[in-house]
Amino acid sequence: MQGRSVTEEDYLKSIEELTIYSGYATLSEISKLLGKKRQSVYDEIGILVNRGLVVRTGRGKYALSDSGRSEANRFLRKHRVAEILLWKALKLPWETLDEESMGIEHGMTETIIARVCEMYGCVFCPHGNPVPEADGAVRDMDDMGFDEVKFFSRAKITRIIFETREVLSFLGENRLIPGSQVNIMEGRMYHGGSDEVVEIPDKIARAMRYHR
């Protein structure tokens, strides 16, 4: 993502995704996710804090305010519908959709979104996340994180909440998509049948949500 023009929307989206993933966002995490220098991130976060869109939740920790979350969800609507368009219409590989959608998401008008939703449906994106409404409202997902589900013997993936290249590449290579079943033994997560079993690293497992 180095060199890509990064907007306020991108910052809000990144903070929201990091907060869902780990409970908060740090400057270094935002910097890495957006491919921007830490000082640039620090300056932009200060602006967003002053505007009431971002709040400090601790030393070096940030999250979105209610208004910031609504703004982020309006942008996530564009992003997730762009993923649906690239997946359904252009048949791009599942693991590339998050990155490829960045090239068109800012141009997704409500007219385009309505047409995509009419043609393909817009309840969930290809990674299992709900598509927000135009006003930023988003449905709650009754699913669990890794720390909850690891005490059970098996679970089903519902969605990918942290869509980095590393996470999606691993999941795509191992055919781990929403609806896939995983097995859990002694706090470790595995996928596969009798021929080949793949252990899922904790940081990948934490990037997903599950149903029992």
* Per-residue pLDDT at 5: 53
Name the nearest CA neighbour of 199 among 188, 211, 210.
Answer: 188
What is the pTM assigned to this prediction?
Answer: 0.89
- Phi, psi angle pair for 200, to nearest 5°: -95, 120
User: CATH topology of 8-64 equal to that of 146-211?
Assistant: no
Q: Which tokens belong to 152?
A: 């059970």
DSSP states of 73-98: HHHHHHHHHHHHHHHHTS---GGGHH
Sorted by sequence, the CB contacts under 8 Å of residue 69 that are 6+ apart come out as 16, 136
pLDDT of the residue at 7: 86
Query: What distances in angstroms separate CA 192 from CA 52, 183, 197, one per listed residue?
Result: 46, 8, 4
Determine the CATH number of domain 8-64: 1.10.10.10
User: How large is the average pLDDT for residues 156-185?
Assistant: 95
Q: What is the mean pLDDT of the chain?
A: 92
Report pLDDT digits (tens) over 145-161.
999 999 999 999 999 99
Could you say which architecture CATH assigns to the domain 74-140?
A: Orthogonal Bundle (1.10)
Residue 192 has pLDDT above 90, yes or no: no
Was domain 146-211 assigned CATH 3.40.50.720?
no
Q: Where are the domains of the chain?
A: 8-64, 74-140, 146-211
Please, which residues have CB within 8 angstroms of residue 65's CB and are 6 or more apart in sequence? 52, 53, 54, 55
DSSP assigned state of 123: S
Q: Minimal CA–CA distance to 97: which of 112, 78, 84, 110?
A: 84
Query: What band does 194 get if pLDDT is binned at 50, 70 and 90?
Result: low
pLDDT above 50: residue 4? no
